[in-house]
Structure 1
Amino acid sequence: MPGRDVDLVVIGAGLSGCALVAALKSKGWCGTIQILEAGRGPGGRSATRRRRDSPLWRLDHGTPTLSFQSEPCGQLRELMTSLEQRGVVRVDRDPVVGLDHLGAVVAPPDHPLLRGPRWRGIPTMATVVETLLSDGGNSVDARFGERIQTLSRVDERWVFPGGLRGRGLILSGTLLAHPRSLAMLGWRDVPLREAVPEGHDSVLDEALAWIANLNASIRWNLMVQFPAMDSDSLPRQIWLTPRAQQQFGVERIVLQRQQQGGLGLVMHGLDDGALITPETQPQLMTVQEQRLLSLLPEILQPWPSLQGLVSNAHSLGVMRWGAAQPLDQGMPNALQWCRRVRVGFCGDWIAGSGFGMAEGALQSGLDLAELIAS
């Protein structure tokens, strides 16, 4: 990477970033792309946890499905059809139940992620982003474990540590463009604002003002390994009702059967509003792990076979997921690509009806590719 010049630097290898590079390739765009991803591999909130000591162990620790508000159409339908035909996804019809504040199993709550059609990645959610990334072709290079600490623009090029320079910059998340970066990264100002002064690009100014109005949403996802058991009678997802969510501070539990007979569990914990900074995050992750583990026996009461194995379960730690909540009126298409400074935006925060809506992530990548290639 030292001294390398590329046409686009894409920060984030989640659904939207990978959909973008695949769509650019399909449109015949011939530029070079460097993806920088903080995680160990592609996926973002569609990532899959793998264990070095157990190659068959795979746990989707972010979103368990690709959720849509309604049946996809146009380019989005074409993309999903292609993924289905290649065996990368299948329609998700696995059982979903609700759990109320009294510990009774009820109908699942009315939630945007459950209203429309859903697909699962085969064999895991990471397969979807891995496929999209490979569809980008040989002009795409991805580097993982790359956390961006500086952001600057020199001589109309975006400059990164190690000498990487890009003519264009794509943000698939809001962290470098949203005021929450001040606390989480210890910046004095929004990183993108520091790199491009106000007034230099009126479209970027509008985009940053729109992004500043977004509210951040945080999840603390506890990953747990259960021993082998008969899991045929268990639901795939357990959604807590609004009152139960308020009582327990948990959104849902997702169960994932393992090939070798074990069971993986992910508890999506809600945030309590504590300030997250580089200094406080390690302690917060420990506190959240202990809190969520302590809730498991009570929440799993309706499933005695699973509840009885809690004492033999093994915690795999907590993942913190942060994202901006999309506004009712999505980001105007004209703000997705700021041509003067060549900055683009994609992600589920651009349009959609909730945290983790794959429809908004994929569609925003397709829309941005159209703008860049035009």
Structure 2
Amino acid sequence: MTNIYDFTVIGAGISACTFASLLNKRFPDLSILLVEHGRRIGGRATTRKSRKNKILEYDHGLPSINFRERISEDILELISPLINSGKLLDISKDILFINEFGILSNAFTNNIIYRSSPFMANFCEEIINQSNNPKKINFLFQTLTKSIKRVNSLWEIKVNNGRHIKSKNLILSSSLIAHPRCLNLLKINSLPLRDAFIPGKDKVVDSLIKETRKLTYMIRKVYIFHVSNLSLSKNFNYQYLQIIFANVIREDSNFERIIFQRQSDGSIIIALHCSFINNLSEMKIDNITKSLISLFANYKIFLDLFLQASLIDKMDWRASQPLNHLLSKELQWSDSSKIGFCGDWFDMNSCVGVESAMISSLRLVNLVNRN
């Protein structure tokens, strides 16, 4: 690894990987470092390998990807090879909707919904693989950014292992260290991005910090269950099944969606996504099981799975989607401070989610190129 990077990106999710890959295509000799708190690439679209059972590998964050019918040529250039090679699968028919009366129906009839194959983390890996010089893109995993500051025209990033990283340019692919929610999550007393600047020194950063405070985030918890009964799982005819819960159910139980993912040994992982607007609360597993059994009373195959399922993990998500007050794209880059921002917290012409994150990264690369 180099002593001073040309670009350091905080995060290794979809927006970060898109930025790194596209920047590498434009400038293949620049050194790029992605600093990620998680154990592997992907961010919210990552895939987890179970520490207790090495055979199990499952998606526990972003469950699917969708794009508008008319997307930019640059984004199409990135995803078309994945679609053509079967690494980005159309799973529209495998996404169902369940209402408060326990009736299942197709969730989508017009839109195409994708997922990366075999795992969601492969989407980011394939984006990175499209760069011209992948050797210039480096990663630091299980690394938490503690503070950032600009000293003598270089960014110094202090991380949790005591290491200091130096970089000519800094990119934040998440709003975390720019938003007050990081104070509790990171157990710190002041906002890292605010600490890096004297108020009034950089108008772009001042405006970004002010606007970011208005963002409201949905808090998510994911409960991971495992069905090890192979004779039972053989009767389950889905590879990747998602069921979205009606708003009435969401308001009553906080259930957002449930994902079924077959494992290499034939067993099934069930990931229950729960969402909370204000405070994250703990739910008793017995109550969760009773609610699921009640909702799916009309479908024996699901009842059998829930009765055999055992909880093996749960996650509180730090990286959740913003709900409102998306930021102006004019706040993406400060040339005076050499700091940029990308992700789904920017308003990209009414597109949302993954597409918004990727477009923001594309736009940021263009801004860097221009300056």
Task: Using structure 1 for the length normalisation, give the TM-score.
Answer: 0.87
Work out which of the residue numbers 128, 143, 159 in structure 2 matches 1:146: 143
Q: Deviations over 1:307-365 (max 9, x none)?
A: 2233432222112223241547x533321111111111111222369998211121112
Amino acid at match of 1:150: S
Q: CA deviation at 1:369?
A: 1.4
CA distance in 1, matches of 2:178, 2:49: 31
- Residues 100 and 246 of structure 2 are in contact (CA less than 8 Å); yes or no, is this contact kept in structure 1? yes
Counterpart Cα distance in 1 of 2:357 and 2:347: 8
Cross-structure match for 1:315: 311
Q: Show the 5 A alignment for 1:272-287.
A: 273-274=278-279, 287=283
Query: Would you say the 8 A contact 2:78–2:127 is kept in 1?
Result: no
Q: What is residue 81 of structure 1 aligned with on the other side? A: 80
Match of 2:112 among 113, 117, 121: 117
Of residues 361-370 and 99-108 in structure 1, the stretch that sits farther from structure 2 once superposed is 99-108
Given that 2:227 and 2:309 are in contact with CA atoms closer than 8 Å, whether structure 1 keeps it comes out as yes
Describe the shift of the 1:326–1:100 C-alpha distance in structure 2 as closer, same or farther (beyond 3 A): closer
Q: Distance in 2 between matches of 1:156 and 1:288?
A: 52
Q: 1:240 to 1:355 in 2, by over 3 A?
A: farther
Question: For structure 1, which segment, 353-362 or 12-21, has the greater mean C-alpha deviation from structure 2 after superposition?
Answer: 353-362
Partner of 1:269: 274
- Aligned equivalents of 1:217 and 1:141: distance in 2? 31
1:243 aligns with 2:248: yes
Post-superposition Cα deviations, 1:209-261, rounded to whole Å, max 9, x if no partner, equal: 22222111111111111132111169811111111111111111111122322
Please name the residue that 2:215 is paired with: 214
2:153 counterpart of 1:156: yes
Residue aligning to 1:297:
293
| Structure 2 residue identity aligned to 1:334 | E
User: How is 1:1-374 mapped onto 2 (pairs within 5 angstroms)?
Assistant: 4-51=3-50, 57-106=56-105, 108=107, 116-136=111-131, 137-161=134-158, 162-227=163-228, 228=230, 229=233, 230-232=235-237, 236-271=241-276, 273-274=278-279, 287=283, 292-293=288-289, 295-321=291-317, 322-325=319-322, 327=324, 330-351=326-347, 357-374=353-370
Residues 53, 320 of structure 1: CA spacing in aligned structure 2 closer, same or farther, 3 A cutoff?
closer
The AA in structure 1 aligned to 2:135 is N
User: What do the CA deviations read for 1:277-333 (whole angstroms, capped 9, x no partner)?
Assistant: xxxxxxx6x6576654553333332332232233432222112223241547x5333
Q: What are the ranges of 5 or more consecutive residues in structure 2 without an aligned counterpart? A: none
Specify the code of the residue in structure 1 equivalent to 2:37: A
Change (3 A) 1:295 1:158: farther
Give a deviation string over 1:257-279, Cα, whole Å, max 9, x none: 2232211111110126337xxxx
Q: Among the aligned pairs, what percent are the same residue? A: 26
- In structure 2, the CA distance between the partners of 1:260 and 1:94, relative to structure 1 (3 Å rule), is farther
- 8 Å CA contact retained: 1:269, 1:292: no
1:105, 1:302 within 8 Å by CA — same for their partners in 2?
no
Q: State the Cα distance separating 1:127 from its structure 2 match.
A: 0.7
Deviation at 1:115, TM superposition (A): 6.8
Name which of structure 1's ranges 120-129 and 80-89 shifts more when overlaid on structure 2.
80-89
Amino acid in the other structure paired with 1:125? M
Per the alignment, do residues 288 and 220 of structure 1 end up closer, same or farther by CA in structure 2, a change over 3 Å counting? farther
1:38-72 per-position Cα deviation (integer Å, ceiling 9, x unaligned):
11100111111223565553311111211224342
Q: CA deviation at 1:208?
A: 1.8
Please give the TM-score of this superposition, normalised by the length of structure 2.
Answer: 0.87
Indicate the SS of the match to 1:98: strand
The whole-number CA distance in structure 1 between the counterparts of 2:285 and 2:218 is 18
Coordinate RMSD, CA, aligned: 2.7
